[in-house]
Amino acid sequence: MAKKPATPLAYLMDMLYIQGSQLARTVHVDRTIISRWRNGRVELGPKSPYFEEIIRAIVKVNKERGLNTLERFFSSLEPGIAVDTEQDLESCVSRWLVDREFEAKYADKESGNSLYTATYKIYKGITGKMDALDDMFDTLASLPKGETFWGYDADSRVFKQNNNDTRKIQKRFLEAEKNKTKLITMIYLNRSQEEIYNMFEYWLPILLSTSAKAYYTYDMERPFYDYIFSIKGKQTLVGINGTNGDTYSAIYTDPMSQRQFDDFLERHLERFQPLTKNLGSRVVCNDFTRENMEAFNRNDTDQYVIATSMSFLSSGKILLKEF
């Protein structure tokens, strides 16, 4: 949720969504120390032996996120300031962390609001990820027809072992398409055949659709976030997969975060090639061509995807070897 930061460090941690435990591990201090710096109970300054490490950690996270958040922020404070290199950013962060007038700087002169107030809701664990996706689809269903829902899931647990989450997601994608939503997904194919098999089932409503778009890459380098789903211009779900205790998701609704994530997805898409275009030129499985897909999509797609998608993909396993 939106909250007023107590210190310059808290402001940057909120802006970059850096958890206290994450920063503590990076600079090798106890999490309570980070909490005291963040809340202002202990002053964080150049005399601290961890000051430079904190600066480097913040700049590193900014780079990993790939959203140019610090660059945008410091440029908004001081147009023309140098933000092109890591050294430039470290200098900006260093000055910011010791600035006693930071509250006056981050406030918009006209509205009095913060230049950057990250508004988000946190979901924890594997079940939290599904709850977050449900909330995203519920929001999508409440909006007018024609919204764009796009993003990627680079390493979901359902790719490694099929489970009921796949069916739940399929249903939500089908509901979205019936509401004339423009569905776009980016798929990472640098994985085992079995994972591709499970992954294709996860995305099956998009692959079957004649209006949705799917893109693929074999790129081994994946972004910091394991998954990003965005209702373009409205809100974004981001998160990291892991064991249940390490999986976390967050839905951002503030305008600045939304612009950054949509800009990131625009740039990210440039690394991908059209997958559905490739599927359209070949037999997807035995006796099932693109024309069959179009015909089937006009009929009872719900029942087909939920009940018999496994047979569809079983027939198509030979195709997967060709990718």
Domain extents for the chain? 8-106, 120-320
Task: Compute the distance between CA of residue 105 and CA of residue 120 in angstroms, rounded to an integer.
Answer: 23
Q: Can you give the pTM of this predicted structure?
A: 0.66
Mean pLDDT of the chain: 80
Give the phi and the psi of residue 141 in degrees, each rounded to 5.
Answer: -65, -25
Q: What is the pLDDT of residues 105-156, one digit of tens each?
A: 776 666 556 666 667 888 988 889 999 999 999 999 999 999 999 999 987 8
Q: What is the pLDDT of residues 84-94, one digit of tens each?
A: 999 999 999 99
Q: What is the pLDDT of residues 31-41, one digit of tens each?
A: 999 999 999 99
Mean local confidence (pLDDT), 185-197 = 85
pLDDT, position 266: 92
Q: What is the pLDDT of residues 48-82, one digit of tens each?
A: 999 999 999 999 999 988 778 899 888 878 888 89
* Pairing, β 148-153 against β 182-188: parallel
**Does the CA dihedral 145-171-214-150 come out positive or negative?**
positive
Task: Indicate the fold that domain 120-320 takes in CATH.
Answer: Endonuclease; Chain A (3.30.870)
Residue 315 has pLDDT above 50, yes or no: no
Chain centroid, CA 283 distance in Å? 33
Higher per-residue confidence, 184 vs 202: 184
List CB contacts of 250: < 8 A, sequence separation 6 or more.
Answer: 17, 120, 121, 122, 123, 132, 237, 238, 239
